């Protein structure tokens, strides 16, 4: 009789831990997947604005063609890297982030060069696109932060006992975080 009671307790505990822990891990994995979708959407919004920006800038007389070419190439590279939520390893996320940072740098260069064209900066279309790009960069940052929060919650869950036992059994693996761009920790040097 004692053995039957022990077996019943063990089976009850195992089934309780398995279903609750497994379901929690699934929910947290889906939260990461959803947050990743929002990150991709924000980056796609930026990529969608670039052709309009390039066309608006092309209208400026004698605008530096090499700058426009660099932006178009950086956009092509950034949009060519597709990363699924289940492939969010440190290495894959770093490649994705490098491509996106390259595009951000090319856009920064483009906007700096436009300073030499006051007639371009005065057009309503350019001002609107510049405002939309600034807003999009803020959205990207917000979504990346939300993604990192979801990854932190998920990674902590699958690393906690007893979930870590089930996580290994059911193939739940840690997800990577977005990190600051190289050199972001150094203060910019301002010269007048």
Total domains in the fold of the chain? 1
Rounded to whole angstroms, the Cα distance separating 186 from 188 reads 6
Provide the residue range defining the domain that includes 67. Answer: 2-161
Give the CATH number, domain containing residue 78: 1.20.1440.20
Sequence-distant (6+) residues with CB within 8 A of 77 are 99, 102, 103
Q: Is residue 136 part of a domain?
A: yes
Q: Is residue 34 part of a domain?
A: yes
Question: Can you give the pTM of this predicted structure?
Answer: 0.76
Report helix angle 90-113 to 2-58, nearest 10: 20
Q: What is the pLDDT of residue 55?
A: 81
Q: Is residue 78 part of a domain?
A: yes
Q: What is the pLDDT of residue 82?
A: 86
Per-residue pLDDT tens digits for 66-108: 788 888 888 888 888 888 888 888 898 899 999 999 989 888 8
Q: What is the pLDDT of residue 68?
A: 80
Per-residue pLDDT tens digits for 18-75: 556 888 999 999 999 999 999 999 999 988 988 888 888 877 656 677 788 888 888 8
Q: Is residue 43 part of a domain?
A: yes
Region for 62 from its dihedrals, namely left if φ exceeds 0, alpha if ψ lies in -120 to 50, beta otherwise: left
Does 160 score more than 80 pLDDT? Answer: yes
Q: Is residue 172 part of a domain?
A: no
Q: What is the pLDDT of residue 11?
A: 59
If we measure between CA atoms, which residue out of 150, 56, 61, 137 comes closest to residue 100? 137
Q: Is residue 186 part of a domain?
A: no
Q: Is residue 170 part of a domain?
A: no
More confident residue, 134 or 118: 134
């Amino acid at each position: 009789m004692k053995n039957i009671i022990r077996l019943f307790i063990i089976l009850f505990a195992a089934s309780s831990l398995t279903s609750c822990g497994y379901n929690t891990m699934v929910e947290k994995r889906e939260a990461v997947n959803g947050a990743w979708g929002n990150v991709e959407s924000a980056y796609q919004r930026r990529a969608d604005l670039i052709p309009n920006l390039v066309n608006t800038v092309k209208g400026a007389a004698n605008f530096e063609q090499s700058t426009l070419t660099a932006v178009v190439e950086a956009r092509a590279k950034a949009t060519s890297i597709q990363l699924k939520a289940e492939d969010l390893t440190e290495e894959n996320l770093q490649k994705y982030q490098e491509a996106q940072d390259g595009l951000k740098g090319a856009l920064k260069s483009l906007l700096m060069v436009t300073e030499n064209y006051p007639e371009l900066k005065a057009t309503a279309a350019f001002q609107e696109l510049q405002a939309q790009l600034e807003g999009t960069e803020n959205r990207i940052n917000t979504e990346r932060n939300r993604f990192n929060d979801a990854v932190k919650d998920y990674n902590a869950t699958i690393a906690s006992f007893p979930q870590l036992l089930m996580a290994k059994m059911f193939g739940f693996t840690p997800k990577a975080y977005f990190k600051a761009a190289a050199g972001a920790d150094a203060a910019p040097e301002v010269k007048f």
